[in-house]
Structures are given as C-alpha cells and as structure tokens.
Chains A and B, each alone.
Chain A
C-alpha cells in the first residue's frame, strides 16, 4: 500500500473523487494555479481545468454561499477556507443557510457541501493563523463536524464527507500536513462519519481526543504505560454528532476519563463530553472527569516561548494522566 503524507492523502481524496464523480468541484482562494497556500490542491487545476478548480475572490461568505447555490443544482462542491481563523465571515452561510436548508424546507431542498479548513497551531501562525474554531459549529443541528488525525482517515473521511447528503465542516490540522505519514490506498474508499476509533485499548483511563492531539496522546499513553498506567485512547474523528456509544462504552470500562483538545478549555467539546459522561455513566466513575485544553486566551502567541507554553504536548498530557491515575 502506498505511503502518503496527511496532505497527500487529502489531495488524493479530491483527485479520486473528482475523477469518479463529475459533480465534484473545488473552490476557494488560491486553490487554482497556485494549488492552495499549503499546496493541498496542487495539480488539480492542470488535471481538471479552471471550471472545476475555481480561484475565488477573498470572500468567505461568497465562497461558501456559492457552494450552497451549486449544491442546490445537484453539484458536490468542496469549498476551501484558507485558514480556520477566516471561517467567521462564512459562519452565517454555514450555520444559518447550509445547516438549515433541509430542515427549513421539510426535506424539499438539501445541501451536500464540504467546507475544508486548516486549523491549529504549531507553525508560528500567531493569533490569526492558529485558531481552533470547531466549537463554533459543534452545537449546530443539521451540520456535521469532522476532524481526521491520520492520513488513512483523512482520505476516507473526506470522501465520505463529499458523498454525505448533508453539509460537513472538515478541519485539517496544519501541523499534520507534512509531519504525518501513513499507508493510504489508491482509489476511493470511505471511513464512516459519526464513528470514533479506539486507537489504543486500555483498562484504567479513557482519553478522548482528535486531530494532532491524538498523536501527542498516544505518545503520552506509552510514556505512562511503563509506570503501570493503562490508557485507552479514543480518536473522536466526528465532533458533531458525537459517537456517544463509543464514548460511554469506553468510560464504563475504564471508570476514568480525560478529554484532550487544542481548542480553548471553556466551550470546547470537552465540556459536552464531560456532561455526557456525567449524565449517562456517573455511577461508573472513580474520579471526576478531567479536561486538558488550551488556556482561555485568544490563540497562541507569535513569541516562541509563549507559543510553546500555550501548546499542549505529550509531557503535559502524561502529567494529567498521572494525576488522574493517582486520584
């Protein structure tokens, strides 16, 4: 099986799906001749032409709104927002329009679009090239929010998102683009939306996470394994709707839960998972549910030392695991 980077896996998904389905096209800033600022769409313009790889003005509401309009005529648009930090001007289009079209027309209209956006810190992006904005969307019925962590999942989940009959916001951690490699099959395959994956089985603590933090969490789990702390690591993959069954089954088995995310502590998905566990698995718990998240400041700072202090890493996660194990 060929090995691909996370970025190449996403590009492979776009190429394979555009080859298979003439309805699929991409639009966004710099996605054409330049191939995107991260080069995710590099070569697509040459392969599929200007009609299906569309360079757009700097107009996020226009990009997502145009995708919605094209979907109403039966096409399958994949819109790229250059950085998740700039998805805000398109929030009205995503939440008020795309997410509600099916419901507000009692099923007469549908809106199968994908909005891709790179997110997360660790590339010296400072306040406006580093944000985790997923929590803006994880309380929106009608929408799906997907965040892959591995190259295999990145391709399979993106193809599933394109084929999904409803709008999907698809966040890609930009630090994974070139650092993460893995086996990625040629040709189309899907990884189902709405299902979490148990990446490491364990008996003492359930760790719920997604995106880049999955890899730091797996490293941390190995670090504490030598100390006799047995951690189960669950990759959420879809943040909305959550895979409640997998979350609850895991915590009922381990009796302790740690949620790790790069998004801010307050209002991040960790609060929802904690509430879910408290409501439905309280009697199984041996410790309070613990959250480890980025501090409640706007985003990471440009200064290197502050950036490192802001970021979660394997050591910080291992520390939280030790504390929880000792409770």
Chain B
C-alpha cells in the first residue's frame, strides 16, 4: 500500500477553465474514481456497523455519512505517514482515505484485539495508526486540537520543513476551551497546522444557532491571526482546493488556516440517538439531496469517467468486500483476559 495520497504530487494543475474541475486541480480520472469507490466503501462499512449494532456485535456506532467528501477531499492534500492527521470521532472516511481498510474499521467497531486503532480498548470512532500518522484521540470533545498544535511546534523546534499537522473537529468543538487555547497558540506562533471544521449544524441535538454565536465558524479565525475559509463540504473538489492551499501555506512556513466545511449529517449522531426527535421532518426529507457520494457519482458520470454499468459493478464489488471483511472480523476471538493489564507503562529500555 502506498502511503502517498497527496494528489498535489500529480502533474501540476492545468488552469484551463474548459477542463473538468478535477483536471483543473491536477487530479486524474483514476483518482476521482478511487475517491468515489472509497467514499462508497466507507458508507458500506457505516451501514454494516449499524446492522452489527442491532445484532449486538458492535456496541457503538458513530456515523461519517454526509462527511465523506470533506474527509476524502482533505486526504488528497495529506501525505499519510508524513504529515500528521489528528482526527475526531466523525472521521471514519478520513481514516480509510489515509490508508486504513474496511477490515481495520470493522475490527475497531467490533472491539477486536487486532483492532489497529486501540486493540479493542476504545469504543468505535477513535481512529489511530502511528504508521499512517493518524493520532489516537480521547472522547473529550476538542481536547485533540492542542495535540496538532504541539506537533506543529515540534516541527518548528526540530527545524523540519515541508511537513504539517492537520486536525478535524465539528462546530461543537469550537465552544471548548482547549480549542480556543490551541487556536491561540497556533496563531501566536504561526505554526504549520491546518484546522478543519466539519460543520454539520448539530452538536448531537443542539442546533448551531444555540452553540455557535456567529453564522460562520470560519469568521472565528480572525480572532486568532489566521485566515478562515468557507467551503461546501459536500463538494470534494472545493474541499481539496482549500485543503491543498492551506497545507501548502503551512508547509512553506506561512502559518495556520481554519477551513470550515459546511455539510450535513445524514444520520443520527450515533446508534444511541434518534434525530427525528430534534430535526424537523422537512429537513430530514431533504437530507437525500446533500449526499456527497451521489454528488461525486453524478459528476463522474457527467464527465464520462463512469457509466451506470461500471457503477453497479463497483457497488457489487464493494458489497462483497464489506461482507468478506465482516466475516473476517467476526471470526477474530476475544483477547486473553490478562491483556487488560498490557501497555500501562513502558520499559526503561524504550526510552
């Protein structure tokens, strides 16, 4: 598996307005189709986890449905295994886009000892891989922002160039003290870090107008000495363009950026939530119009990258893949009970 996901390593963009948008951004047809397949793959895993939760095999599910374009668009701008990604619980699609597999995610969702994120210790939604430089997080909202800032501080201390940290959070996290502290430090020091807000309009049930005092989260950036950018988070190309610019700014020492991706959470917050209780019926009905997978599929078909037959074949293949991964994950036995005590402290030798 190649860890190089940075699409900006492709030939330089041709700024010819006559070209399709992905070509203008320097993205190949294959990259677009791979992203579409990846987004559908992660949606299938999402679907499967909800099923498994009803079967008692996955005890917690937190959805990324509706957020896939934002996460895949950013992943094109990240060199996995080089740049650091500091995600939050909504970032299953990001984990997959950066190199984790359906099996990895299902092992995590089923709490198996071979779960690469945590060895079955963390509930689903805590994606991690040191090899991919996806940083392990807690469930405390916003507490991870400062870790991305600390990583960026480390690059400054070691003098490393051409590397950046990128962190992800919902608009709800921007109320947290740790978010404010992290933004402050990044702004004061002009660190190589990118902040990506996946604004789906809800902190579980509390709507944005009850939790965010301004219309656009991006405007908060002004208070921290960095630019704030608003993009349509269901448009993978708009997200990529903004993320690429921000990562290049960070890597070249021009400082941090806050990107706000406006998007929609297509499902309840988690399997313990019923969003019909707090979202108007008309809003729920309209959600189908905001599915980023439909949007990218339609784009691919309009530009001749895909036809109906190929799309159906792709879906069948992905369905078979998630079935096989589910079977494989389900067969992994529980860990030995003594393993509860493993990894509490390190040994002096590793220091």
A interface vs B, CB < 8 Å? Answer: 25, 27, 51-52, 54, 56-57, 59, 61-62, 64-75, 77, 89, 92-93, 96-97, 100-110, 112, 141-142, 144, 163-166
CB pair A62–B136 under 8 Å, yes or no, is no
CB pair B153–A70 under 8 Å, yes or no, is yes
Which residue of B128, B177, B348, B351 contacts A109 across the interface (Cβ within 8 Å)? B128
CB pair A141–B344 under 8 Å, yes or no, is yes
CA distance A72 to B144 in the complex (A): 12
In the complex, what residues of A have CB within 8 A of residue B307's CB? none
Q: Known A-B contacts: A70-B151, A112-B351, A164-B351. Give 16 more (CB < 8 A).
A: A25-B157, A62-B146, A65-B178, A65-B181, A68-B146, A69-B165, A70-B157, A72-B135, A75-B158, A104-B136, A105-B128, A109-B136, A110-B350, A144-B345, A165-B350, A166-B346
CB pair A103–B343 under 8 Å, yes or no, is yes
Which residue of B149, B188, B342, B346 contacts A69 across the interface (Cβ within 8 Å)? B149
CB pair B129–A108 under 8 Å, yes or no, is yes
User: Could you tell me the distance in whole angstroms from the C-beta of B3 to the nearest C-beta in chain A?
Assistant: 16
B95 at interface (Cβ–Cβ under 8 A)?
no
CB pair B178–A142 under 8 Å, yes or no, is no
Which residue of B188, B344, B351 contacts A57 across the interface (Cβ within 8 Å)? B188
B147 at interface (Cβ–Cβ under 8 A)?
yes
Known contacts A54-B153, A70-B153, A106-B119; A93 and B146 CB within 8 A of each other: yes
In the complex, what residues of A have CB within 8 A of residue B116's CB? 108
CB pair A65–B146 under 8 Å, yes or no, is yes
B154 at interface (Cβ–Cβ under 8 A)?
yes
CA distance A164 to B342 in the complex (A): 17
Which residue of A66, A142, A166 contacts B146 across the interface (Cβ within 8 Å)? A66
22 contacts between A and B (CB under 8 A): A25-B157, A27-B153, A56-B185, A65-B147, A65-B149, A66-B150, A68-B147, A69-B86, A72-B135, A72-B151, A73-B84, A89-B177, A97-B143, A102-B343, A102-B344, A102-B346, A104-B128, A106-B118, A106-B342, A141-B344, A142-B345, A165-B346
CA distance A51 to B156 in the complex (A): 7
In the complex, what residues of B have CB within 8 A of residue A27's CB? 153
In the complex, what residues of B have CB within 8 A of residue A93's CB? 143, 146, 178
Known contacts A65-B143, A73-B154; A57 and B185 CB within 8 A of each other: yes
Most buried by B among A51, A54, A70, A163: A70
In the complex, what residues of B have CB within 8 A of residue A69's CB? 86, 146-154, 165
B303 at interface (Cβ–Cβ under 8 A)?
no
CB pair B121–A103 under 8 Å, yes or no, is yes
CA distance A70 to B182 in the complex (A): 13
Q: Which residue of B lies closest to A110 (CB)?
A: B346
CB pair B184–A92 under 8 Å, yes or no, is no
Contact with A along B335-351 (1 / 0, CB 8 A): 00000001111111011
In order of increasing CB-CB distance, the 5 nearest A-B pairs are: A69-B150, A65-B146, A106-B119, A62-B181, A165-B346
In the complex, what residues of A have CB within 8 A of residue B342's CB? 106-107
B265 at interface (Cβ–Cβ under 8 A)?
no
Which residue of A72, A110, A112 contacts B147 across the interface (Cβ within 8 Å)? A72
CB pair B126–A104 under 8 Å, yes or no, is yes
Question: How many chain B residues have a CB neighbour from A under 8 Å?
Answer: 50
B54 at interface (Cβ–Cβ under 8 A)?
no
CB pair A97–B147 under 8 Å, yes or no, is yes
B106-146 residues with Cβ-Cβ distance < 8 A to A are: 116-122, 126, 128-130, 135-136, 138, 140, 143-146
Which residue of B117, B129, B147, B345 contacts A102 across the interface (Cβ within 8 Å)? B345
CB pair A100–B138 under 8 Å, yes or no, is yes
User: Could you tell me the distance in whole angstroms from the C-beta of A91 to the nearest C-beta in chain B?
Assistant: 11
B155 at interface (Cβ–Cβ under 8 A)?
yes
CB pair A65–B126 under 8 Å, yes or no, is no
CB pair A106–B121 under 8 Å, yes or no, is yes
CB pair A108–B136 under 8 Å, yes or no, is yes
CA distance A82 to B143 in the complex (A): 21
CB pair B177–A70 under 8 Å, yes or no, is no
Which residue of A70, A104, A142 contacts B118 across the interface (Cβ within 8 Å)? A104
CA distance A57 to B148 in the complex (A): 17
CA distance A141 to B145 in the complex (A): 24
CB pair B182–A62 under 8 Å, yes or no, is yes
CA distance A209 to B348 in the complex (A): 26
Known contacts A57-B181, A109-B128, A165-B351; A142 and B344 CB within 8 A of each other: yes
CB pair A109–B143 under 8 Å, yes or no, is no
In the complex, what residues of A have CB within 8 A of residue B145's CB? 65
In the complex, what residues of B have CB within 8 A of residue A61's CB? 143, 146, 177-178, 181
User: Could you tell me the distance in whole angstroms from the C-beta of A324 to the nearest C-beta in chain B?
Assistant: 35
CA distance A92 to B153 in the complex (A): 20
Which residue of A66, A92, A110 contacts B143 across the interface (Cβ within 8 Å)? A92
In the complex, what residues of B have CB within 8 A of residue A108's CB? 116, 128-130, 136
CB pair B156–A166 under 8 Å, yes or no, is no
Known contacts A72-B84, A165-B348; A65 and B130 CB within 8 A of each other: no
CB pair B345–A59 under 8 Å, yes or no, is no
In the complex, what residues of B have CB within 8 A of residue A163's CB? 348, 351
CB pair A62–B178 under 8 Å, yes or no, is yes
User: Could you tell me the distance in whole angstroms from the C-beta of A24 to the nearest C-beta in chain B?
Assistant: 10
In the complex, what residues of B have CB within 8 A of residue A72's CB? 84, 135, 147, 150-151, 154
CA distance A68 to B117 in the complex (A): 18
CA distance A183 to B220 in the complex (A): 53
CB pair B178–A104 under 8 Å, yes or no, is no
User: Could you tell me the distance in whole angstroms from the C-beta of B342 to the nearest C-beta in chain A?
Assistant: 7
In the complex, what residues of B have CB within 8 A of residue A97's CB? 138, 140, 143-144, 147
CB pair B177–A107 under 8 Å, yes or no, is no
CA distance A97 to B152 in the complex (A): 18
CB pair B149–A66 under 8 Å, yes or no, is yes
CB pair B155–A73 under 8 Å, yes or no, is yes
In the complex, what residues of B have CB within 8 A of residue A66's CB? 146, 149-150, 153, 182, 185
In the complex, what residues of A have CB within 8 A of residue B153's CB? 27, 54, 66, 69-70
CA distance A25 to B157 in the complex (A): 9
